[in-house]
Structure 1
Amino acid sequence: MLLTAARVPVGPLDFDPLTEDDVVSRVAEAVDRGRGGWISTPNIDILRRSARETSVRNLLGSADIVVADGAPVVWAARLTGRPLPGRVAGSSLLWSLCTAAASGGYGIYLLGGEPGVAERAARRLMTHAPGLQVTGTCAPAWGFETRPAEVEAIRARLIAADPKIVFVGLGCPKQERLIAALSESLPGAWWIGCGAALDFAAGQLRRAPRWMQRSGLEWVHRMAAEPGRLVRRYVVEDAPYALRLLVASARRRAT
């Protein structure tokens, strides 16, 4: 695990007090030294799940870098009196890490999304970061994680591609479990579970306007875009948990 300033506890997880630029710099430095690792970017939904499931909490907490991809997480840290420098979204890290990879001359791999999504994302990323080497893409079939032969086929493709950064967009905790299973095969690579970042990069989904991202309202945009999938999650499950987290964080500071 990389040495950094003391992690900041927020709910069931501890977060590194890093900016997006800090994360990119640390990854680039580690790649240059031949050291790999992995990045976790929990949002409030993932934090809620971590509070409920010990296995998910332990998995996410074992990441080399844990940064907050969600305004409520940043707000909760501030209420404890140990603020984080800001939100670090996996969807933004995809672009900034690819820029660093193009500059450093090392390859990336895109794993996740529906068929064709990773390829479209790759084309847009290469336009954004001229010289970027996309050493491979993969869209695993639904339920692949229950079929060992398919997991091993993905491992073989990754070893052959030999990327230095692997973006895994399968949703939590599936993407983190796959990272845990495969990362030992590429010890010099960095892995990041990036959720819907590949869909955003491909143009499959549209990110919220920047003012909504900055004000902590990106979830409203996401919910409006995918109401059938996200209304219950965000309104019924995440919002009450976020409120409890904020209250508990304020009480922690008071004591």
Structure 2
Amino acid sequence: MVVGGVGVDPLTEWQVVEWVRGELDAGRGGRIVTPNVDICRAAARDVALRELVNSGDLVVADGMPLVWASRLLGTPLPQRVTGADLIWTLSAMAASRGWPVYLLGGAPGAAVAAARELASRCPGLGVCGVEAPPYRFDESRAGLERVRRRVAAARPRLVFVGLGFPRQERLIEELRRELPGAWFVGCGAAIAFAAGQVARAPLWMRRAGLEWLFRLLSEPGRLARRYLVDDLPFALRLLGGCLLRRAVTRIWVFSGR
């Protein structure tokens, strides 16, 4: 289904994990994209970015406004599925299968700390590599090659890439050529969350669609413009447009047209 201008798969988190398990068992790799309002806004303005999202093997909603919009359209998504949650459930699945994972992204030290936390909560998990590339490493071919060689040499089956959109998705496209049988997750801040470097909102705020508010209050200097000036108007337009479409559809139905 199309929500916020991008195609989204109507899957629960558990269904995503089971899908990836089945594909890895069959020796097939893939890419998971987790669009939120900010990513949808960027995709709406840029055809290339929209294609980058829609070309994902699995595209799941990482933003409650997308779930609300789907409900207004009459085709409700079953659940919000975030990269911050998938890093745990997919790692647990990988541990049960003996599949190594790779953590790529985050501030210095984040990937190491996240690997330690994941291993402690997912017994048997093998973390075959961690990487925190320097800022703008991907602006040079040499920087890209260094990362590509390290990841390829580790031979992971699951790779979590937390560099922010669209940098992480573009890097994943490069890495998939070397590791066609691996699954990649563009997970944003998930590595920092798993490391404990950035606090997640309480569960009740996540369920109520208020995680953005928690993050805004935690990092106002970095997030105020993005959330309040860029994303909030887009979210309101999205929900307003879906509500209008629903009202028009009902009028047509009741009028017998």
TM-score bin (small chain):
over 0.9
Deviation, 1:55, is 1.2
Secondary structure of 1:42's aligned partner: coil
Q: Count the aligned residue pairs.
A: 248
Separation in 2, partners of 1:11, 1:197: 22
Structure 2 residue 43 is matched with structure 1 residue 47: no
Counterpart in 1 of 2:154?
161
**Over aligned residue pairs, what C-alpha RMSD do you find?**
0.8
1:123-179 superposed Cα distances (whole Å, 9 cap, x missing partner): 000001010000001111111111111211111111111001100000001001111
Q: Is the 8 A contact 1:10 1:249 kept in 2?
A: no
Deviation, 1:115, is 1.6
Separation in 2, partners of 1:85, 1:96: 17
Q: Is the 8 A contact 2:152 2:175 kept in 1?
A: no
Separation in 2, partners of 1:66, 1:250: 23
Unaligned 5+ segments in structure 1 are 1-7
The partner residue of 2:224 within 214, 224, 231 is: 231
The partner residue of 1:192 within 185, 189, 195 is: 185
Q: Is the 8 A contact 1:40 1:67 kept in 2?
A: yes
1:211-240 superposed Cα distances (whole Å, 9 cap, x missing partner): 000000000110011100111111111111
The one-letter code of the counterpart of 1:29 is: G
The partner residue of 2:163 within 153, 161, 170 is: 170
Counterpart in 2 of 1:132?
125
The partner residue of 1:29 within 22, 26, 43 is: 22
Q: Is the 8 A contact 1:107 1:135 kept in 2?
A: yes
Secondary structure of 1:22's aligned partner: helix
The one-letter code of the counterpart of 1:31 is: L
Separation in 1, partners of 2:212, 2:21: 30
Separation in 2, partners of 1:80, 1:56: 24
The one-letter code of the counterpart of 2:135 is: W
Asked which structure has the greater CA Rg, the reply is 2
Write out aligned runs for 1:78-227 (5 A): 78-227=71-220
Secondary structure of 2:24's aligned partner: helix
The one-letter code of the counterpart of 2:184 is: W
Using the aligned pairs only, state the percent identity: 56
Separation in 1, partners of 2:244, 2:51: 25
Unaligned 5+ segments in structure 2 are 250-257
Secondary structure of 2:216's aligned partner: helix
More displaced 10-residue stretch of structure 1: 99-108 or 176-185: 176-185
Separation in 2, partners of 1:188, 1:201: 25
The one-letter code of the counterpart of 1:28 is: R
Deviation, 1:252, is 2.6
Deviation, 1:58, is 0.6
The one-letter code of the counterpart of 2:185 is: I
Counterpart in 1 of 2:254?
none
The one-letter code of the counterpart of 2:228 is: V
Counterpart in 1 of 2:252?
none
Normalising by the residue count of structure 2, what TM-score does the alignment of the two structures yield? 0.95
Normalising by the residue count of structure 1, what TM-score does the alignment of the two structures yield? 0.96
